[in-house]
Structure 1
Amino acid sequence: MYIRIKAKQRKDTIMCWDISLHTDIEIIKKTFPQLRDERRQLDYNYDYLENVQAITFPKYPILYKDKDSSQLALTEMEWGVLPTYIDDPKLQADRRRNMINVRSERILEDKKSYWYRLRKQRCLIPVSGTFEHRAVKGWKKKVPYFIGAEGRELFYLPGLYQWHETVDEDGVVERVGSFGMLTRAANEVMANIHNDGPNKHRMPLFLPEDLERQWIEDINEEDMPPIFLFEMPNEKLKHYPVYTLRGYPSRPDGKHRYEAFDWEGLPPLGSDTAQTSLF
């Protein structure tokens, strides 16, 4: 189902590029019992889904409603909206890396923008949590953190999606979906974790259950700003450092990627200066 490829990461765009799904996705059907299941892949490799990295535009299960249907559906789409207005494959891939995340504040700002065109094509991204990297002065490498929703085994991040058609060498036409994850300005906790880089102090748009459901319903433009402006309270987010994510390394303690890891000498959040370098 998933193919790992090497790709050049652009340092000016890295943020919110790692999500985790380590909970049985069938839980979704308990929350949305009328869900239509359109997935081709039903058996997931949850070891892989523990840390899904957007750089390869991986396929991922999402919830969406077609414009012509009122029924919610579960399908698989590629993470990173495909800029169909670009024909050159290399330029298209480069531009696509900037379309993995969607700045929620800008969706309604420019009525000529790509995101405004997709504003009615809303989706929910089921996750167990996300990952973000924290810089610590004196340490050569950043420390990854797992961020989840307190008290929720599975929750949903809002996104925008689109469909496009591809034609293989045999002339077979296939409809392929792609999506982008909504982000906003970080709350205090996330600002202390995502504390470095050109896109620092950003976070996924974490929502309470009622706003998750509202996002996927038929809402008007005037209903969107209150959703975009919602700031998840610090105490509603669980967060802790985990082991290195890049390169899919094996943990020395043999635990899962999303489990807490004790970095010796790691200063508390809000204090980013360490006495010694551990890397």
Structure 2
Amino acid sequence: MCWDISLHSDVEIIKKNFPQLTDLRKDKEMDMYYFENVQAITFPPYPIIYREKETGDLALTEMEWGILPTYIKDPKEQADRRRNQVNIRSERILGDHKSAWYRLRNQRCLIPVSGTYEHRAIKGWKKKVPYYIAEKGREIFYVPGLYQLHETVDGDGVIETVGSFGMLTRTANPAMANIHNHGPNKHRMPLYLTPGLEKEWISDIQESDMPAIFEFQYPEEQMIFYPVYTLRGYPERPDGLHRYDPFQWEGLPPLGTDDPNAVQASLF
């Protein structure tokens, strides 16, 4: 599923989108995020917006990607389970009242991104083709998520509160289904929202208001999506451009046709 994220934005843009935001980041001097590719399954610290329970104020802070399963004590088993919790199926949040997601339903956050990445499988190709996906006309947008807080104790006995979060996903729209076309979680996409729904998600909404947000399908005609060169530690691009810049793959069939031979045969 969506494990790769791009964020290249001035922090002031985030603060402009949310004027009442309180900056609770450890490094408040950082005024620019320039992440070409953040891999969520490595549980990196990442900026999110959430509402503080005590004050009700919106705050910008950094939490670790991937909801930490605190009920698991074995480190390896905990990490394995956590990789499956970097994404959260929105359909399951209210569907099971015994689930962890239902327990966290009111601990909502927004994840600022410039774009997300997904991989497309092509018949006969050894490697999948990565795509960059974003919303048209928005330099930065916000994907909804859930977060949790827990306490840890370091070697000196100091108690620290640590946060972790996951990104909400839904059934893919037609374009995203053609891109994310392989694997156990194929035909899924992040829950892209409009600016109004983003703000609604982070507001003091009721449980009865949530299904309309979960069911919103972002129109593919309002999205940007194109193939890029490579992700996840592969060699740098031969043209020296950024990871998120378009790349022309030779022989890449159009979306909806994943067999290059079928395209070739149709030409004759």
Question: TM-score, normalized by length of structure 2?
Answer: 0.95
Contact 1:66–1:121 (CA under 8 A) maintained in structure 2 = no
Q: CA deviation at 1:68?
A: 2.3
Report sequence identity in percent: 71
Distance 1:46 1:263 in 2: 29
Distance 2:211 2:33 in 1: 35
Q: How does 1:1-279 map to 2 (within 5 A)?
A: 15-42=1-28, 43=30, 46-47=33-34, 49-275=35-261
Q: CA deviation at 1:22?
A: 1.1
Distance 2:32 2:139 in 1: 18
2:66 alignment partner AA = G
Contact 2:87–2:169 (CA under 8 A) maintained in structure 1 = yes
Distance 2:199 2:32 in 1: 27
Distance 1:112 1:246 in 2: 36
Q: CA deviation at 1:45?
A: 7.4
Distance 2:198 2:236 in 1: 34
Contact 2:115–2:134 (CA under 8 A) maintained in structure 1 = yes
Q: CA deviation at 1:44?
A: 6.8
Q: CA deviation at 1:46?
A: 4.4
SS in 2 for 1:19: strand
Distance 2:256 2:191 in 1: 21
Q: CA deviation at 1:41?
A: 2.4
Question: TM-score, normalized by length of structure 1?
Answer: 0.91
Distance 2:79 2:126 in 1: 30
Q: Which segments of structure 1 move beyond 3 Å, counting only runs of 4 or more?
A: 44-47
Contact 1:161–1:178 (CA under 8 A) maintained in structure 2 = yes
Q: CA deviation at 1:70?
A: 1.5
Distance 2:31 2:131 in 1: 24
Contact 2:10–2:32 (CA under 8 A) maintained in structure 1 = no
Distance 2:220 2:128 in 1: 22
Structure 2 residue runs of 5 or longer lacking an equivalent are: 263-268
Quick check: which one's strand share is greater?
A: 2
Aligned residues: 261
SS in 2 for 1:151: coil
Q: CA deviation at 1:205?
A: 0.1
Distance 2:160 2:238 in 1: 43
Structure 1 residue runs of 5 or longer lacking an equivalent are: 1-14
2:72 alignment partner AA = I
